[in-house]
Amino acid sequence: MRTVVIAACVSVGLVIAIAVLAASTGSDVPVIAVGWWRGAFGTPYNAVQTLSFATPLVLVALGVSVALRAGMVMVGAEGQLIVGAILATVTLQALGPVPGLVALPLGAVAGMIGGGLWSTLSGALLLRWRVNEILSALLANYLAVHLLAYLLRTGLRDPAGAATPQSAPLLAEALIPRLPVPGRLHVAALVVLGIVLIALWWHHSRIAFIVDVHGQRPWLASRLGVSPASIVLSTSAVSGAAAGLAGWMQLAGVDGRLHPGISAGIGFSGLVVAVLGRNHPVGIVMAAIAFASLTTGANGVQIATGTVPASIGAVAQALLLLAVAVVVVVARRNVAARRAQRKDDRALA
C-alpha cells in the first residue's frame, strides 16, 4: 500500500519535472506532447523504431521479474548482457562461415549461456556466503565492462586494425535478418513475442507461486520439495540468460559487431521496465514501449519545437530510473530487514 502511494507521488513529480524542464526552453507543453507522439508512433517507421528499442528491454525486464519474485533484486543485467554478447562473438568467430540456420541458434545459445553463468555467480555467492546480490551483481557489472574493454584491445580486436577498440564485423550469415517492415526490426523480435507468451504462462503458473512462497517464507517452499538452492540458482540463471539473449540480439541484430557501447544501458533500463510493469508480462511490454517511446519521441520533440534538444528523452529516462530506485528501495526494505534478522539469529547462535 505504502509502495503504491510512493509510486504515485513519484510519477506525478516526474511529469511535473519534465514539463518544467521542457517549458524552461520556452516551448508550449502541447506542442511537445504532439511532437513526442509523432516521433514515437506518428509514422509506421517511427512506430517500428519504438518497438525495436523496446524489444531488448522486454527481454531483460522479463528476466529481472523472475528473480524479483524470488526476492532477489537483480541489478546485474548490464554485465550479463555484455558477457552474453562477448560469448556470442567468441562462438561465432570460432565457428567461421556457417549457414545462418546454424549460426543464429548457436549465437543465441552462447549469449544465454554467457549471461546465465554471469548471474549464477551472484546467486551462488548469495547461497554459499550470503553475499548481498545487489552488491555482487553491481561489482560483476564493472568486471564485465572491463573484461569487454580488455578483450576488444587484445583477443577480439578487429584485425583490420581500426584505432577504435572494436571486434571484426560478424559474417553476414550470423546477422539476424530484418522483418519486411519499415524501420529496423529484426526477426528475433518474434522470438521475444514468443517468450512474452511463455512468461505469461509462467506468471500464472504454480511453480511461479512456489517461487513467491520462497521469496516470503523459504521453509514453506522447501517443504513442497523445492530447495532454496534450486530456486535461487534457477531464477538467477533464467534472468541472466534473458539478459544474455538480449546481448546477442544487440550484437547480431543491431550493431553487427562487438564494441564498448554494446549494452547501451539496456541492463539498467530493463530493471526500470520490470518495476514499472509491476512484474507482469503485459505490464512489462507496455512499460518497455513507453520507455522506448521516450527515446524515439524525443527526436519528434526536437523537430516539433526546434528548441528542445532530443536529449530531453535521456533526461526523462534518467529521472525515471531515479524514481524507480526509490520505489525499489522502499519495497525492498522489508525483505532486507527479514534477511538481516535471520542472519543475526545465526550469528548469535
Among 117, 168, 209, 280, binds another protein (CB under 8 A): 209
Q: Is 194 in the site for another protein (CB under 8 A)?
A: no
CB of 282 to another protein, least distance (A): 15
Q: How many residues bind another protein (CB under 8 A)?
A: 24
Q: Is 130 in the site for another protein (CB under 8 A)?
A: no
Residues 321-340 that bind another protein (CB under 8 A): 340
Chain position carrying cell 530506485: 325
> In the complex with another protein, which residue's Cβ is closer, 9 or 340?
340
Closest CA to 75 of 328, 255, 264, 346: 328
Roughly what angle, to the nearest 10 degrees, separates helices 44-69 and 188-203? 40
Cα 290 from Cα 166, distance rounded (Å): 31
Among 130, 146, 153, 223, binds another protein (CB under 8 A): 223
Q: Is 227 in the site for another protein (CB under 8 A)?
A: no
Of the candidate spans 43-51, 201-209, 233-241, 280-288, the one that interacts with another protein by CB under 8 A turns out to be: 201-209
225 to each of 117, 215, 219, 231, how far by Cα in Å? Answer: 25, 15, 10, 11
Among 201, 227, 278, 329, binds another protein (CB under 8 A): 201
CB of 321 to another protein, least distance (A): 26
CB of 248 to another protein, least distance (A): 28
Q: Is 2 in the site for another protein (CB under 8 A)?
A: no
Q: Is 346 in the site for another protein (CB under 8 A)?
A: yes
Residues 168 and 257: beta-carbon distance below 8 Å: yes
Among 103, 213, 258, 285, binds another protein (CB under 8 A): 213
3-state SS, 42-99, equals HCHHHHHHHHHHHHHHHHHHHHHHHHHHCCCCCCCHHHHHHHHHHHHHHHHHHHCCCC
| Grid cell for residue 186 | 529484426
Distance, first Cα to last Cα, the chain: 35
Amino acid at 209: F
Of the candidate spans 46-54, 157-165, 173-181, 213-221, the one that interacts with another protein by CB under 8 A turns out to be: 213-221
| Grid cell for residue 293 | 517511446
CB of 210 to another protein, least distance (A): 7
> In the complex with another protein, which residue's Cβ is closer, 200 or 321?
200
55 to each of 95, 148, 277, how far by Cα in Å? Answer: 27, 23, 14
> In the complex with another protein, which residue's Cβ is closer, 230 or 307?
230
Q: Is 129 in the site for another protein (CB under 8 A)?
A: no
Cα 314 from Cα 68, distance rounded (Å): 26
- Please report, as ranges, the residues that interact with another protein according to CB under 8 A: 201, 204-210, 212-213, 216-217, 219-220, 223-225, 340-341, 344-346, 348-349
